[in-house]
Amino acid sequence: MASRIQTPNPSPINNRSPHSRLSHPPAAATALICPGTAVSTKKPLVATPTVASKPVLAKKWREIQGADDWEDLVEPLNPLLRQEIVRYGEFVIASYEAFDLDPSSKRYLNCKYGKSTMFQETGMADCGYRITKYVYATPDIDIPSQLGTCRSHWIGYVAVSDDDEVKKLGRRDIVVSFRGTVTHTEWIANFMSSLTPARLDPNESRPNLKVESGFLSLYTSDDSNCKFSHGSCREQLLSEISRLLNKYKDEEISITLAGHSMGSSLALLLGYDLAELGLNRVGLNRTIPVTVYSYGGPRVGNLGFKERCEELGVKVLRVVNVNDPVTKLPGVFLNEKFRVLAERFELPWSCACYAHVGVELALDFFKMKNPACVHDIGTYVGLLKCPKMKKVKKDGVNLINKAREFVGQQNFGAWPWQDAAIQVGNLVQTLRI
């Protein structure tokens, strides 16, 4: 059941003391910041160890993975859950670290490292997992300059915990990590914001179960010109996860899907897909838990999609910043709140309303000098890692008005729709939101 929870001690992570505030601020304009602890997606990570909490986590992993919808764990935020949110967030940050954005590189728009060395190269050598497969996604967008070339880009990876980590975690954990939007075609896919029937299971006809068309396209499209990928993102993932489930079928297993921004949408689609197909069910009495850790994620589907995810037992923990505009998209107007009004007055649009899935852990941070921090995955994770807080004065600022002023200076009217999406993508990347 979805709920909105405010974390009791949020703080940003930049060394230059960024401004932030509580989600339920007192009358005085004060905020909490975290002094001297910087975490950036531009620096190698140091994997968060699980050794200190070994006895507790091995016994309580099902609750931490959302078996009871994180009841009594988010307010106040349970230290063990906090640790796991950070740990899975670091897997996502590693996917950004490893993504090659150098146009002169032979690995451009692919992973910079091999599977055996990626964790070491990104500072995650001690994470206790090994990568088993790289995953590629294809935006179903035709851009003239890219026709005939590989349109698939490295989007993340599948990893599995090693034997030593299994002892700490209490189970064999299969992790899928997704980065967020980076390329122009991915931004265009993000702008394809219309609801379409999911129809991932050909045996289940659910016309009222709809998801965002751009995310679905990214999940299901393939590219025969790409030498790295074989099949769609969906086909790659279902094949590899099925292989791992069969390999470890006699063990306790969990499936953990983590993603930031667009990546959280892919994580949720995968979680729904696995459960709808029944790939997480072993025999008649055993169900392998599927948990999604979403960081700064947008809405993915409508109310029918949300309800079906809940029926299937897909557990979703949404870590959001209340100032992050991405978490309010798509469906700025047609969303959960509008649906209540539409149903009350019997309006025909209630089934067309977007709806978030899962339990929400709401953070509240903002830095006036760097508004882009509101969506940065490093800020999300660093905020939760920060052990010490101090109060500071908070300067008043209206982020929405500033964004409107900035966008108002751009000339969108003269662009064709594809160029407009590319330019907006450039704008958002410049702002890093």
Pull the structure tokens for residue 329. 């998209």
What is the C-alpha R_g of the chain? 21
Question: Has residue 430 been placed in a domain?
Answer: no
By CB atoms closer than 10 A (0-12, 13-18, 19+), residue 106 is exposed
Residue partners of 282: CB distance under 8 A and separation at least 6? 245, 249, 288
What residues are labeled active site? 261, 324, 375
Domain range enclosing 36: 4-400
Q: What is the pLDDT of residues 169-192, one digit of tens each?
A: 999 999 999 999 776 666 565 555
pLDDT at residue 174 in the model:
99
State the Cα–Cα distance between residues 222 and 233, nearest whole angstrom.
7
> Nearest CA to 10 among 407, 419, 387, 267?
387
Residue 399, C-beta contacts closer than 8 angstroms, at least 6 positions apart: 323, 366, 371, 374
**Residues ≥6 apart with Cβ < 8 Å to 354:** 195, 212, 299, 300, 301, 302, 330, 331, 334, 335, 336
Helix (H) or strand (E) holding 301: strand 301-302
Q: How many CB atoms lie within 10 A of CB 75?
A: 16
Dmax (CA) for the chain in angstroms is 61
Q: Residue 432's Cα: distance from chain center in Å?
A: 16
Residue 135 CB partners (closer than 8 Å, separation 6+): 154, 155, 156, 157, 158, 176, 178, 229, 233, 236, 237, 240
Residue whose token pair is 């929870």: 5
- The strand pairing partners of 133, in sequence order, are 158
Total residue count of the chain as it appears in this document: 433
Residue 420 is assigned to a structural domain of this protein: no
Looking at residue 347, its pLDDT comes to 44
Instruction: Report which DSSP code applies to 197.
Output: E
- Rounded distance, CA 178 to CA 364, Å? 24
Q: What DSSP element (H or E) covers 430?
A: helix 417-431
Which residue reads 């899928």 in tokens? 176
Amino acid at 271: G
Q: For the chain, which residues score pLDDT lower than 70? A: 1-46, 48-55, 141-151, 183-193, 227-229, 331-352, 368-369, 387-433
Question: Helices marked H in 210-301 — which ranges?
Answer: 213-220, 233-247, 262-277
CATH number, domain with residue 34: 3.40.50.1820
Is position 285 within any domain?
A: yes
Task: Please choose, from the candidates 378, 266, 300, 327, the residue with its C-alpha nearest in 3D space to the C-alpha of residue 18.
Answer: 378
Task: Kindly state whether residue 411 falls inside one of the protein's structural domains.
Answer: no
C-beta of residue 94 within 8 angstroms of C-beta of residue 122: yes
The total of other beta-carbon atoms located within 10 Å of residue 244's CB is: 19
**Does residue 424 sit within a domain?**
no
Name the token pair of 250.
């006699």
> By CB neighbour count within 10 A (0-12 exposed, 13-18 middle, 19+ buried), where does 271 fall?
buried
Residue 429 covered by a domain: no
Identity (one letter) of the amino acid at 236?
Q
Global pTM reads: 0.77
* Structure letter (DSSP) for residue 24: S
| Within a domain: 196 | yes
8 A C-beta contact, residue 209 and residue 297: no
Please give the DSSP secondary-structure letter assigned to residue 48. Answer: P
The predicted structure's pLDDT at residue 285 = 87
DSSP-derived letter for residue 373 is: G
Question: To which residue do tokens 């050909």 refer?
Answer: 202
Q: What gap in Å lies between CA 94 and CA 134, rounded to an integer?
A: 13
In a domain, 46, yes or no: yes
pLDDT of residue 373: 85
| Tens digit of each residue's pLDDT (9 = 90 or more) over 36-91 | 333 334 444 567 665 545 558 999 999 999 999 999 999 999 999 999 999 999 99
**CA 46 to the chain's CA centroid:** 20
The pLDDT assigned to 405 comes to: 47
Please give the tally of structural domains in the chain. 1
